[in-house]
Structure formats: C-alpha cells, structure tokens
Amino acid sequence: MSVSDEERDEYPDGSVKLRNPHIELMDQDILYHLALGSGSHDLVEMFGDVKFICMGGTPKRMETFANFIMEEIGHKLPTGTTLLDISQYSYRYCMYKVGPVLSISHGMGVPSVSILLHEIIKLMYHAKVKDPIFFRIGTCGGIGLEGGTVVISEEAVDAMMNNYYEVPMLGKIVKRPAKLDKKLVRELKLLADPEDPYITTSGKTMCTSDFYEGQGRLDGAFCEYTESDKMEYLNQIRCQGVVNIEMEAIPFAALTHHAGIKSAIVCVTLLDRLKGDQVMAPKEVLNEWQIRPQKLVARYIKRYLQMKGRISFEGHGSMAVKSPRRFKLVQQESETFE
C-alpha cells in the first residue's frame, strides 16, 4: 500500500486523486471537522481557485497568517467585510481563505493533524483544485540551534528514526513513506534572505507523539531517566542529522505524499533543547519568532503568484524579493514553477 517515488497520485490535469474508491459512490461527503460538505456547500465555487494550503498548530497563528498574506499578496476583501473563519461552527479547526491561500489550524499532534489532512485532501478533491502545495508553518525545539532559528525540514523521522508513518489499520500496521518535496525545500532555502536578522537552516525533523517524555524532557509530570541519559540521546539524534523536534511532521509528510501533493515544513525553534526544556522566552518574543516561518512561506507564495502574473513584481507589503540576482537564481532553480 505504499507509493513509489515515480508514481503520481493525481489526474493528468493536476487535480487531486483520492486513493479511496468509496468516496465517489457516496451521495455526499460530510467533512465533519471542517463544518463543510459536498452536499451542503458548493465546494468548487468556494475553493476551486485555491493553490496554497498553509497550516499550523494554533487558530491565532493561522488568523495572523491569513491577515499577513492578505497584505503581502494585496488581496482585497469586499468593502465593509473582514476575514471569516469558514470552519467556526466545527469548533475544532479554524480556516481562512485569502484568494488562492487557505490558512488552517491543525491542533497538536499526530491524530489531530491526520484527521485534518484527510478532510483537507478530500476538500481539494471535491473542489477540483489543481496541484495544490501544502505548507506546515510551525514551532519546534531546536537541537543545537538557538531560539528564533528558522528550520526547513529536509526529511521527517519518527521518534525511532523511521522515515515512515505507521498507521494501525484493521489490526495491522500499515507503513506510509513520509516524504517532503525536495525541490520545494531547495526553493525555500533560496528564499532565505541573508539580511534576515536570524538564521534559516535545514535538516531532519523528528516528530514525536508527546512534548515531555517523548522529547526527552526532564520537566514532565513523570521522568524515569537522568539528565545524562537525556543529553546522550539528544546528542545521538543530533549526530544522525536531527536539527529539530516537533509533533506533526510524519503524518504531514506521509499523507500529502500519499495523495501526490507537494509539501514542505518550516518551523521556528522556541529553544535549544541542548540547553534546557522549558520555553522561557517572553510572549512578545515568541510571537515575533512565530512570524519568521510565515515570512518565508509568504515569499514563496508571492514569488509564485508573481511568476504566474497574478500579482505585480512591485508587489505589496514588505516581502518582495529584494535582489534581482537572487530572484534569478531562484527562478533557475525552480524551473519556472510548473
């Protein structure tokens, strides 16, 4: 039940193909946790023009991102209106639509992001969206990286260093490869501005199913290992290329890959786990740090829309790609964004 690298799971026109024969036979598909449905809503009319699906843990971050990207791409709302949380009556996730961008919260951890991804991938299918690109805009613990560092995930691994998502299904474990889009990673790396007052780096991202013992912390309600056990473990995974730890990378990479959808993960570190466990930075600092992955993803979206002639090169807001030389490099690298 796994997908080889070459296999593409989409129709030739780029629309998302579901690997589930049952959906087409259903009269309607209720996307329960989004408060949407194929019978109750005209999903093509509402979402047919979507290109970028950006997600992150908290509703507040994703509302902030929706407003930020609106400014960046110069999207105008009808006079007298404000952004609306499309999924507000699900009381589970929030969802904002800003032109071709969806900004959605996914909650914390593997089950929460997995449920959301099932419904968002189906939403893309029902809406006949072509070649969507998914981003996770998150926070994480750094391994040997100061707080405020932006990390682009090259690969996702679980807490046992496996690069697949294990899903117990009908009493058996099914393994799905957790693969991020390598070209998208290269393009994002090229968009890091040397003038940014923080470091942007890349490496392996470890996805755990717990924040405390699952990430080797000493400050949970329970702890049956020593500080030296913890340090030995963190140094060992660091030697294996892990640069950050969070809690959604594996299902995010695996389910998007299984659906033939390009995806990338950009997180900001909230602390260096080699130096401590508690998140000590003040709220204002944490809020500023959380904007950093948003800026990188906004640069990507903005550049994409510029290349497609959907916004002008002068752009809007402050995130235009400044150096023409760098822009050219990015263009060559990305082979014009097909």
Ligand X SMILES: O=P(O)(O)O[C@H]1O[C@H](CO)[C@@H](O)[C@H]1O
Ligand Y SMILES: O=c1cc[nH]c(=O)[nH]1
* Shortest Cβ 163–ligand Y spacing (Å): 18
* Selected range binding ligand Y among 44-52, 139-147, 219-227, 297-305, rule: CB under 6 A: 139-147
**List of residues 6+ apart from 220 with CB closer than 8 A:** 211, 212, 213
Report the residue number, 124 or 247, with the smaller CB distance to ligand X: 247
Judge residue 170's burial from the number of C-beta atoms within 10 Å of its C-beta, 0-12 exposed, 13-18 middle, 19 or more buried: exposed
CA distances (Å), origin 78, targets 71, 75, 83, 198, 317: 14, 10, 10, 37, 19
Which string of DSSP letters, residue by residue, matches 213-249?
GGGT-S-SS---S-HHHHHHHHHHHHHTTEEEEESSH
* Selected range binding ligand Y among 42-50, 125-133, 136-144, 285-293, rule: CB under 6 A: 136-144
Could you say whether residue 56 binds ligand X (CB under 6 A)? Answer: yes
Compute how many residues bind ligand Y; rule: CB under 6 A.
Answer: 9
The residue from 116, 150, 191, 245 that contacts ligand Y (CB under 6 A) is 245
Report the residue number, 139 or 263, with the smaller CB distance to ligand Y: 139
Could you say whether residue 246 binds ligand X (CB under 6 A)? Answer: yes
Tokens standing for residue 263? 């995806």
Could you say whether residue 215 binds ligand X (CB under 6 A)? Answer: no
CA distances (Å), origin 59, targets 6, 92, 146, 184: 36, 10, 26, 25
Radius of gyration for the chain, computed over Cα atoms and rounded to the nearest angstrom: 20
Report the residue number, 254 or 311, with the smaller CB distance to ligand Y: 254
Could you say whether residue 215 binds ligand Y (CB under 6 A)? Answer: yes
**Residue 245 binds which entry of ligand X, ligand Y, none, CB below 5-8 Å type-dependent:** ligand Y
Report the residue number, 283 or 325, with the smaller CB distance to ligand X: 283
Report the residue number, 50 or 151, with the smaller CB distance to ligand X: 151
56 annotated ligand binder: no
Binding residues for ligand Y, rule: CB under 6 A, are: 139-141, 211, 215, 245-247, 270
Binding residues for ligand X, rule: CB under 6 A, are: 56-58, 108-109, 138-139, 211, 246-248
